[in-house]
Amino acid sequence: MQKDFRAGIGYDSHPLVSGRKLVLGGVEIPYDKGLSGWSDADVAVHAIIDALCGAADLGDIGTLFPSGQAEYKDVSSLSLLRTTSDLLKSNGCTVTSIDVTVIAQAPQLSPYTEEMRKRLSACLDMGPGQVTIKATTTDGLGFIGREEGMAALAVALVHK
């Protein structure tokens, strides 16, 4: 069987609310709001999971980890990423690279991107150089610009 490279794209967004921790890329970031969701609502990790699922033809994050199931309530998205990574391996896939862009008006994320990179690469059994994390704003436009929520885009390259 010939092995091929396959790419997947993932996207996620969640609203910001008071009374929740802000977790991005598996890192808790000091901020007065957090992302609302069934799990820890880590948009960066959720986008990565969807990108990996797309590249490996495994459906999507909602198929693998449905909202509303008690076992996923407030779960760390890194745990979901580890499960996804194991599923890819069992399907003959090797993750080659991950590229993520987090879209948030605030807070400033650059002080945390290196730690995100380390946690994500460790979770995926990859070298830190195989995972890139970037952050951008919308220059005040839309729900992100009004600081009502955050989003993330991810691309995954998988060897199958």
Residue 2: predicted pLDDT: 62
- Give the integer Cα–Cα distance in Å for 89 and 106: 36
Domains contained in the chain, number: 1
DSSP character for 130? G
Q: Give the list of residues 6+ apart from residue 64 with CB closer than 8 angstroms, or none.
A: 49, 53, 58, 80, 83, 84, 87
Whether 3 shows a pLDDT value over 80: the answer reads no
The DSSP string of 55-115 is HHT---HHHHS-TT-GGGTT--HHHHHHHHHHHHHHTT-EEEEEEEEEE-SSS--GGGHHH
pLDDT tens profile 93-127: 999 999 999 999 999 999 999 999 999 999 999 99
pTM for this entry:
0.96
Report the CATH number at residue 52: 3.30.1330.50
Domain residue limits at 136: 5-159
Do 130 and 97 touch, CB atoms closer than 8 A?
yes
Q: Give the list of residues 6+ apart from residue 149 with CB closer than 8 angstroms, or none.
A: 13, 14, 15, 16, 35, 143
Residue 1's pLDDT band (cuts 50, 70, 90): low
Residue 160's pLDDT band (cuts 50, 70, 90): confident
pLDDT tens profile 34-89: 999 999 999 999 999 999 999 999 999 999 998 888 888 889 999 999 999 999 99
Least confident of 3-7, 30-34, 153-157: 3-7
